[in-house]
Amino acid sequence: MKGMGDVPPHVSARVIARCGVAHPFADLLVRQTALVVIDLQNAFLDDAIGYAVCPSGRDIVPQVNKIAGALREAGGGVFWVMDTFDPGAAEEWRSLHAMLTTKARARREAAVAEGSVGQQLWPGLDVRPVDSIVRKYRFSAFLPGASDLPDLLRARGFDTVLIAGLVTNACCESSARDAMMLNFRTVMVSDANAAMTPEEHRASLLGFYSLFGDVMETEFVLANLSRA
């Protein structure tokens, strides 16, 4: 499976039995495909910011930029999603804040507050004026009410999404699962996602691939976009 190395045979067999092929979404029609990049922001990549930094996230930037460039050139879309703290979120999302210490809660709020340095996209990203920037207020960008991303995608005719960003097993997987359940053809790009540990990264991709959608590596994505 062109995605994350060796896949346990029972997982591959389950996918092929259900879908008929190992990659159900390999036919990527570029003008219907959008790259959705989750939370590649200073708050999660800059050690000086110090809130939930995932160092391996810096390693996926070249792959993200490569896919973004290919999609733009061919007529697809690029959406940069930014985790954002809203003052009303403490009340609206009490379940999250109840799990945080006072110190952790203050750090999170400061790191992704609107207009803060932490909220800004990582400077190594190749963001262009034609791209869309979307704020989200939950882990999942596709959860109803969390952002306007689903409406923006549909308005431009995108029915296929490539999920990239941070972290694989939290905001990325949450977004990918919800995207699938909102009827988007959903692909997690294995080497354009990152997690705190390789074990968490792999487990998340396996869980998603086994039931929710497809998993591909960057070069496989680009090859299929090229053929389309």
Asked whether residue 2 is domain-assigned, the answer is no
Distance CA 135, CA 129 (A): 16
- Give the total number of structural domains in the chain: 1
Write b or e for each residue in 62-95: b if 16 or more Cβ atoms lie within 10 A of its Cβ, otherwise e.
ebbbbbbebbbeeebbbbbbbbbbeeebeeebee
What is the arithmetic mean of pLDDT over 170-190? 98
Asked whether residue 208 is domain-assigned, the answer is yes
Helix (H, G, I), strand (E, B) or coil at 79: strand
**In this model, does residue 3 exceed pLDDT 60?**
no
Domain containing 75 — which CATH number? 3.40.50.850
Sheet holding 214-216, edge to edge: 132-136, 77-83, 33-38, 160-166, 185-194, 214-216
Residues of the domain holding 145? 28-123+138-227
pTM of the full predicted structure?
A: 0.94
Asked whether residue 164 is domain-assigned, the answer is yes
Report pLDDT digits (tens) over 105-131: 888 888 899 999 999 999 999 999 999
Q: How confident is the model at residue 5 (pLDDT cuts 50, 70, 90)?
A: low
Contacts of 219 (CB under 8 A, 6+ apart): 2
Asked whether residue 223 is domain-assigned, the answer is yes
Asked whether residue 198 is domain-assigned, the answer is yes
